[in-house]
Chains A and B, each alone.
Chain A
């Protein structure tokens, strides 16, 4: 059974142990977090082709390849395809999601998979998260200064949903206010909320922080009773869990909110892309990140997402 559900991940205990494959493509962005700064210096020494995302807008992104700078609209399959067409099929592609925002890497990933590129997602864990100094639970002004509001990720808008039976699946992070806001906008029935907690967490105590941060909403709705678990750093575990849930609710519309870890968000995006169902949707709140929300860098993960996609395509 396990063999049928492989965890297609390479783990490096420290960033310095990793080096990209020769002649590979490496897409990344330096955000305001230390961990996103870890890999780029290494690229200078290697033979990987570095493509830096210089600027992220809501619907487009400014990129740099060598001396060339260019803009890629995110709601344009044609432009995304043209970007990938620069590289031969079979060229290893690293999509470093550490410093990229969800709405950017998800659009590139969807397109890369559609054009059968050998894409791997790369992620560096933080050494630590910052916590609020104010003693109220669910502080929205802690990790995020504020959010831009609920919206679909570019290229992932769902307008053709069929089922009215909504199952809401929040991938929990520490920020309870974000969950509360999503619930307010999504309005699922209380017995149709299935929260997913990252267990094991990046650190042993993180699942407890997750519960503490989301306690109010989980208690008010009784959703804590229906919590499921997937390793916080494993998109594949999350993907398989979503498969299980979709089998339990075959006629329902699954509304997945990736407000937890990036690997979980990656699993959710993979699920949406590979399932191709109109009854799966991603709902996101576009947080504006606070400077210095995390500290340091810990392990590095390389997720072989194209391998999963290949398997999923063959299975369809």
Chain B
């Protein structure tokens, strides 16, 4: 019975963390909603652009801001939305819909007009749906002024409507007719179109005549803005620039906002004049992200504890980490340490070596392997220059950990602890929930008690599994998914060999910049690939040492997204960089074995070290094993 109960508890914990995508949460989204620190800024009266990668929580926040979200988050209190000064109308930009508005049958100008009309229909539908919902929820059916409704219908080129229900029906019918005309766009028989934004302004103005809504600002919340085609972004940008009765809250991936222009060729959206920019990569860093993540995870643990009271209380306790010195011991430095000590003939040196911590004694071996002298010489030097050695030990210990189990089976480097997990999630709440979920799952499968912390080994295995899962996912994220996967695999193996063979080389070399060769014919292809890799979070980029006013792709420093580091056994810390040419980057996706060999040779390394266990499946791909 107890086993069953423990299994149920473990399953409950795992399940709650397993729901890490907003769309998977379905009905639990608002129940598990955690307000991030930037929410107040997002909910102000201005147009905001929320910029962040997949999994940074954009959809959850934007849906939380919708009228359905705000109603649910306030426990359905009536009258609805009395506590917020806005009405959020959520709309996810759906690739399947918007890609229908392209093709050679008509020119871009005509597509622009068709798309503008479609946007009018969609936005008016959102407002009408809201008004009908509001009426139902407040048990007080709303009616708008007849003249106002007539103006909306006229503006949309619809037959006259006098009630909200009429308008709703007519818009639906018009959408069906419009669908048929787009499906037969070559037949050039289009229904009358409407002027971009005009009916929406009319309808918002009409809605504002309802006393309960008079003081409320209408927000159009557009999620996944990157799915709009470039000309479509210009259409909506035009609305952003000129709309007066409503504002926008836009969720978009880094590099997904390709067009800042409007339909007026001389006009662009500018920050902060036209919109406020909230960059989640800046918002969700370090302690800010850790605190937010802690609220999210502890909130979920609290829900499980309502039913299973002995579940561990805080996420920080559930995921204990270890110091680097402890890690060195756990990675097994002591056996060889003993052998080395036994081989030292000088008693004073032997005694000094025994007094050193296992990690320090290992470090003398590491330093010796890097060609700085025998272990005995180094121990003697340490005795004489303790402070210098302590600094060296502090600087190089982390890099040296990767060499302890080089070429051996099993875990070669631990990735454990709440702080490490929040670091490798790198501001991405979805990644963090995956790490926690997978850790609890492993804990449960190992038959461990939910009241106890998850062991470092299980956390590391979980981190490897999450990295592998996201590596696999990469293929499906984009039409160029296969190339991104190959790029990541190639870079991963390259940096993996560098990390495993640090002796005598620059430690923790895990970043790169693109060589500045402006006449390189491959540069633009390589930059496109890098942009895609950043957009889909295969890589992260950050300002390098180059002038801050440069915005070219090649002016950034790049690094494998930290979530993948447990899989490739490399450091997640931002440390040192190398230079790669456009040709080398492209070669990684086309001839990976040759490219890796070439890159390693430049670093004076060879790449025939055994792969870590979790990478073995790719042995054929890398030409290893």
Contact = CB atoms under 8 A, between A and B. Distances in A.
Interface in A10-33: none
A76 interface: yes
Query: Which residue of A134, A138, A158 has the most chain B CB atoms within 10 A of its CB atom?
Result: A158
Interface string B111-132: 0000000100000000000000
Interface in A139-184: 139-141, 146-152, 154-160, 162, 176-184
A184 B24 CA distance: 11
Contacts of B478: 181
Nearest to A188: B23
Contact of A59 (B105, B477, B621): B105
Contacts of B472: 136-138, 180, 216
A177 B179 contact: no
B480 interface: yes
Interface in B470-495: 472-473, 475-483
B187 A185 contact: no
B133 to A, nearest CB: 12
B186 A75 contact: yes
B398 interface: no
B118 A160 contact: no
B371 interface: no
B427 to A, nearest CB: 20
Contacts of A150: 95-96, 99
A159 B105 contact: no
Interface residues of A, number: 57
Contact of B479 (A76, A148, A157, A192): A148
A148 B478 CA distance: 10
The binding surface of chain B is classed by DSSP as helix
Given A77-B187, A157-B183, A177-B476, A146 B175 contact: no
B104 interface: yes
B175 A180 contact: no
Counting chain B residues whose Cβ lies within 8 A of the other chain, the interface size class is: 35 or more
B620 interface: yes
A59 B104 contact: yes
B372 interface: no
A189 B26 contact: yes
B103 A160 contact: no
B476 A160 contact: no
Contacts of A192: 26
B477 A151 contact: no
A157 B100 contact: yes
B35 to A, nearest CB: 22
Interface in B173-189: 175-176, 178-179, 182-187
A134 B620 CA distance: 7
A185 B183 contact: no
B175 A160 contact: yes
A136 B485 CA distance: 11
A186 B186 CA distance: 27
Contact of B476 (A157, A159, A181, A190): A181
Given A160-B172, A160-B178, A281 B95 contact: no
10 residue pairs, one from A and one from B, having the closest CB atoms: A180-B476, A157-B100, A76-B186, A160-B175, A73-B186, A181-B476, A189-B26, A177-B475, A187-B23, A190-B24
10 contacts: A134-B620, A147-B479, A152-B99, A159-B178, A159-B179, A177-B476, A180-B477, A181-B476, A190-B19, A190-B23
Interface of A: 58-60, 73, 75-79, 133-141, 146-152, 154-160, 162, 176-192, 216-217, 220-221, 278, 281, 283
